[in-house]
Structure 1
């Protein structure tokens, strides 16, 4: 007879897979909370641009012979330079000044930086159209705009700073909020948003042509700013929720440790058992 809490993969071998009530609760809560990762779809579009729009934009400006795709290297350079500064200077100073820079604040700042990067690209595209010899058909023009292509590093730098705030925090949330045996699943669900962003970018790439290249950057900037505000409002108490979840998981773990002790010691004095449980709960 099949017992509650077990399933059998093979009817002949009768190999059971067991789960506990706490594991079911953890999985349900984790999968529900993974919906927060959907906000990163918009940020990814801000971070990488739609299709090859940023590379094409660099090609529309005066680059002094530098390849169009050279400037995206400043994304990685900015990350390498910014993370040590944040970890060893900015965050310790905020802690010293007793400023509670919560995870939701970091994510909000990251989203806003990504939105600002897209807005900078929209302004640059408008200036390219204004200064190009071919006007609003600058992408296919033989003569580039006199604007220097080095302006592109503003976008890459802002988006890279946004990654330092919201991506590192998201990895931390995905790892700490997931059950021990589901951390890989949660990370996969988080990274799946990058695939969604790539699919959106690929789907609209056919429409990314002159003379309408200002609007994709503007739309992503507006969507990024809107998502940042919505995320801040919806997950304002995210740190408190994380603390509560950690306490519940630790209590469940301590209860599992206690169960064999109480089951083997059938003659355990009720008073001693009460003291043991109280000692475990007092840790929290």
Structure 2
């Protein structure tokens, strides 16, 4: 890989911020001051403690909507592994319906996750080209409900016994995945858009002290709480796995279906409060044409010995050859120099996502192989697939702790955990989580009475408590807070205004990449190969953590410089 120098990257973001301050976005109101507030000076920026602002009320409605949607998503996907892997009403066995075995269960689970994170590209294009974020979310919610109903109706006992469960879950996965794509690519940028104050300002607290209210920290806090709502919704799997084990699958799927109806109602109730951006044309098509033009013009310039240099004698980046001001072919294009600058920043920002598929490969183990792993141990009176809910429980507790204590504590000490630092810590923690799972699997196989056949059809569990699996989920939760939340924040913050949906969908696409990689692990995603499975994904995560640091360690310096540049231009405005 080749990367731009720190200086060039800083110049890129500086020019963009000049334009942004000179032409404030029409979808946001101009910055304003309330009583007890004043604009920040350069001295304030250097001396006052930085804090985030309060969450806008419109953002609260979107956060609650995401909570309800995730309640539905995790509520239906939580029982998938057992539903597909095991037979229906088999004595002395975990709950099930299809009896497809662990290979089929893991494979279909990986397909579902891949599909759910591939379709956001389509959702982003539709929102940008035709409908806007608000209408796209509403329409795709209706598609989502259709999938929920198909899954619920085909999970009734008569359908399962007549063979309708397998085609039903495949149709439901495809339909729900479509619905998810239209929602996921738009709901996260929409929630951050609700905060429309750009310039840093000073607020006097009740104790008389002044603090600097910083937009960057506010957006970071918004995404922390957004991710918190995702994991609150994820606790639905506790209810649905209990219903699956003690009643049947159809009520386990009916509950999240009803919750999704509430999701749409909550989102609709906030319609008069939202900052709604209008569609401005398909960025994907425009970006494709821009990149193609840049490549063509660069090749032509090189062939004709007409390569362009700047005032310092440096060759221009290849993407600049798409600028109308530099276009040596003289062709008429549908973009301006500013769009090319924005596209360059977007492409550069997306490079940081290249290591995320390995992170999601590890994360995906939680919903398939780690569920099967807990089924090989003594879980007591609770179903084996309830163990995965330890992860969202930990996140619910830890996100407020990080937002109120950990991050502010570092800032008080003069240390700022910039995005690359946080992502690196998250990657490292995920590698440790998988290493722990591999070591645990070794001890499970070493225990009797079923050894490496534990959890297979016709076999029970080995003599080891499932409580020993808890640390793997705790470490994974910490990894998510550092890497996943920061990735969402980075995708929004770095994306130019016109490209937020598409950059966010590209970040979500890395999850689909992890699911594709997971297919390669299917041959070792069952007994007696699970030690190798967890060990290999842990090693991959560790290797990519090192690669990430080597390639992107300088991005934190650029991020800090960008913040300074932004402050200078906002102050000048």
Place the TM-score, normalised by the shorter chain, in its bin. Answer: 0.7 to 0.9
Shift of 1:147: 1.2
Q: Is the 8 A contact 2:362 2:430 kept in 1?
A: yes
Structure 2, unaligned stretches of length 5 or more?
1-322, 325-331
Name the structure 1 match of 2:572: 283
SS in 1 for 2:395: helix
Name the structure 2 match of 1:210: 527
Question: Which 4+ stretches in 1 moved above 4 angstroms?
Answer: 243-248, 279-282
What is the alpha-carbon distance in structure 2 between the residues aligned to residue 247 and residue 25 of structure 1? Answer: 19
What is the alpha-carbon distance in structure 2 between the residues aligned to residue 74 and residue 213 of structure 1? Answer: 21
What is the alpha-carbon distance in structure 1 between the residues aligned to residue 515 and residue 409 of structure 2? Answer: 37
Shift of 1:197: 1.3
Name the structure 1 match of 2:484: 167
Name the structure 2 match of 1:258: none
What is the alpha-carbon distance in structure 2 between the residues aligned to residue 247 and residue 20 of structure 1? Answer: 27
| Pair 1:114 & 2:430 matched | yes
Query: Relative to structure 2, which stretch is displaced further, 42-51 or 101-110?
Result: 42-51
Q: Is the 8 A contact 1:72 1:153 kept in 2?
A: no
Name the structure 1 match of 2:376: 60
| Pair 1:99 & 2:415 matched | yes
| Pair 1:27 & 2:343 matched | yes
Name the structure 2 match of 1:72: 388
What is the alpha-carbon distance in structure 1 between the residues aligned to residue 478 and residue 487 of structure 2? Answer: 14
Q: Is the 8 A contact 2:366 2:388 kept in 1?
A: no
What is the alpha-carbon distance in structure 2 between the residues aligned to residue 144 and residue 131 of structure 1? Answer: 10
CA RMSD of the aligned region, Å?
2.7
Query: Relative to structure 2, which stretch is displaced further, 126-135 or 233-242?
Result: 233-242
TM superposition score normalised by structure 1: 0.77
- Bigger relative contact order (CA 8 A; separation at least 6): 1
SS in 2 for 1:209: coil
State the Cα deviation string for residues 146-186 of structure 1 (Å, max 9, x = none): 11112222212211111111111111211111110001010
What is the alpha-carbon distance in structure 1 between the residues aligned to residue 454 and residue 428 of structure 2? Answer: 29
Q: 1:162 to 1:178 in 2, by over 3 A?
A: same
Q: 1:163 to 1:116 in 2, by over 3 A?
A: same
Name the structure 2 match of 1:157: 474
Q: 1:51 to 1:201 in 2, by over 3 A?
A: farther
Structure 1, unaligned stretches of length 5 or more?
6-15, 252-278
Name the structure 1 match of 2:507: 190
Name the structure 1 match of 2:548: 231
Shift of 1:46: 1.6
SS in 1 for 2:464: strand
State the Cα deviation string for residues 112-165 of structure 1 (Å, max 9, x = none): 111111011101100001013232232326231111112222212211111111
What is the alpha-carbon distance in structure 1 between the residues aligned to residue 521 and residue 366 of structure 2? Answer: 8
State the Cα deviation string for residues 232-266 of structure 1 (Å, max 9, x = none): 22211212323555677x69xxxxxxxxxxxxxxx
Shift of 1:282: 7.8
SS in 2 for 1:81: helix
